[in-house]
Amino acid sequence: MKHALLAASLLLLGGCSEAQIDHAGDSLASAAPQLANDGLVVATVESRFVQIDPASALHVAVTSHDGVVKLSGKVRSGAVSQKYLAAAKAVAGVKRVEPALTVDASIPNAGKQVGDFSLTAAVRANLAGQAGINAFEVGVKAHDGVVTLSGHVKTAAVKTTLAAAAKATSGVKSVVDDLTVTE
């Protein structure tokens, strides 16, 4: 799979001039610190959510871009929603939090969700391994082997790459691609 992605990348770059390739490399290098910061913010927010309510944490997608954290999904109560919002705001580097959380009291306890959590983590790791892509702007949810990707990506090629990386993750039965291209 990695070889196929590498080959596709080389084909895409084959039509580019040396200056265009250099510019793309420079753009990636200049974006690297922000990509790393976004990843740290997402990881910190998610870890705080697990401490507050692990059952709800598995149903909330967290994305970050330039200090703006977006929360979407379901929580078990309004109190959990408020605690999540406060926890996200308290993370270093967060400028603003945009919540889109709904209450669903039927969310199962954390013990039943361990497999989903592990799969979500594995998919997120595979997405993060895609060179030049800020996978931390992508929401990832897993339930019984079905992975849902959400958020915005810059190109159709990035969307295809992320969906393929998710599908290649061990334990994934299918992928629901809710990614939106913002070209």
How many C-alpha atoms does 21 have within 13 Å on its Cβ side?
10
pLDDT for res 160: 93
Q: Which residues contact 157 (CB under 8 A, 6 or more apart)?
A: 12
- Residues of the chain with pLDDT below 70 are 1-35, 110-112
The two structure tokens encoding residue 100: 């889109």
**Contact in structure between 176 and 148 (CB atoms under 8 Å):** yes
pLDDT for res 12: 47
Sheet holding 96-103, edge to edge: 60-65, 68-75, 96-103
pLDDT for res 109: 73
pLDDT digits (tens, 9 = 90+) for 25-67: 544 445 556 667 888 899 999 999 999 998 888 899 999 988 9
pLDDT for res 164: 94
Q: How far is CA 7 from each of CA 1, 4, 19, 134, 143, rounded to the nearest angstrom?
A: 10, 5, 21, 20, 32
The two structure tokens encoding residue 13: 């770059």
